[in-house]
Structure 1
């Protein structure tokens, strides 16, 4: 009730939905908001060759969105694109690009190519990996934002088609300063949604100048 107006999609991380005993009741509370199961659980389903059963399970729960990722497993590119296209026939697909392994760094050319391919295959939005601690994907192992990479992504793909994972306040403020208050951000803990909305509106010192006085003044936050 406190922060629902500022949430576009609720994500039940990794495999938590599978071990939540009161999942149907939880989904009833969230009714009216799109809910997506974490992409890592999709990867579990894939390696167990249970794609058809996964579709039935999602539909039985009344879920309309699905995340397709390959952050942990070795999923051939062509197969991933086929799965995105296949699922897009029945669900709204969010795909994710980037490895969860902090020692794996893809080149900007690989990132932009894969983002475009997955959107062309039928993904509604593409998520850029960062992990909960901001130590992989669009972040370096040490936790620094790969700003040049993010800039190349923004130049190559429409911003409205990308969800940047931004698990830290510093990252959230950076994205808002760089791309404006309406930038799509993900991997936001529920207890931090209100704080993020204040950043979007320039109600916190980190973004006040940029949002209320700078280039993004007057831009809607959501």
Structure 2
């Protein structure tokens, strides 16, 4: 850091499995990636190229190489996995991961319906090739799961081979673990945490109020995802109690 301050919470060092920040790249140019990395590489643990943006992204290999040179792994959004699956192209998906040298993959069923046993089979098979991150929850605002169901699904996917499970919220932060207003479904989160270790969950939290809520609940080293590139430095100050929203939270710890 640039100068010394007392009573700053301790962040886990990279590479880390808790306190992770997953950034959502929705179509940054090569120059924008370079600018982003100059400022935020130190605080970024993994980057997701959102949904199926990788299909239409120009200079994709060059972009992946920029992140690789910065030591930041990249994976393609779960919607791309679903796009391959619904077209009966699972083997093509696996070959595509190899073609682009990806070491991580996301398995989700937010846009299509996959029997959960089959989803777990995909997780198990893929985990022999790459590190799997699976996503629980639907992108359909009308589909609301009971807490016991979230717990059941998360447990099964972790047992099948997922490294982390993502709690769905979309890039807008108004489905899944949130109400359509963006408010956290607090009872749901509390129930999940009684059964699923916090370090195994990445909470999608694109909005500042959501990030603040999870930091206050779980601590500075909560795993947060779907963070916009421009929000990386602001989020790190939230984690450290250096923004008004969390200013008093860590002073007496």
What is the TM-score when the length of structure 2 is the normalising length? Answer: 0.83
Q: Where do residues 83-102 of structure 1 align in structure 2 (5 Å cutoff)? A: 83-102=122-141
How do residues 58-137 of structure 1 correspond to structure 2 at under 5 angstroms? 58-137=97-176
Counterpart among 211, 230, 234 of residue 172 in structure 1: 211
Given candidates 49, 56, 64, the residue that maps to 2:88 is 49
2:44 paired with 1:7: yes
> Residue 244 of structure 2 aligns to a residue in which SS?
coil
Q: 1:27 aligns with which of 64, 74, 93?
A: 64
Runs of 4+ in 1 over 6 A off after TM superposition: none
Match of 2:233 in 1: 194
- The Cα shift of 1:59 comes to 1.0
- The size of the alignment, in residue pairs, is 214
Aligned residue for 1:212, secondary structure, equals coil
RMSD after superposition = 0.8
8 Å CA contact 2:169–2:176 kept in 1: the answer is yes
Q: Which stretches in structure 1 are left out of the alignment for 5+ residues? A: 218-222
Answer yes or no: is the 8 Å Cα contact 1:95–1:123 preserved in 2: yes
CA distance in 2, matches of 1:104, 1:117: 20
Name 2:248's counterpart in structure 1: 209
Give me the whole-angstrom Cα distance separating, in 2, the residues matched to 1:211 and 1:64. 36
CA shift for structure 1 position 140: 1.3
Q: Which runs of 5+ in 2 are unaligned?
A: 1-37
* TM-score normalized with structure 1 length: 0.95
Whose relative contact order is higher, 1 or 2, with alpha carbons under 8 Å and at least 6 apart? 2
Q: CA deviation at 1:141?
A: 2.1
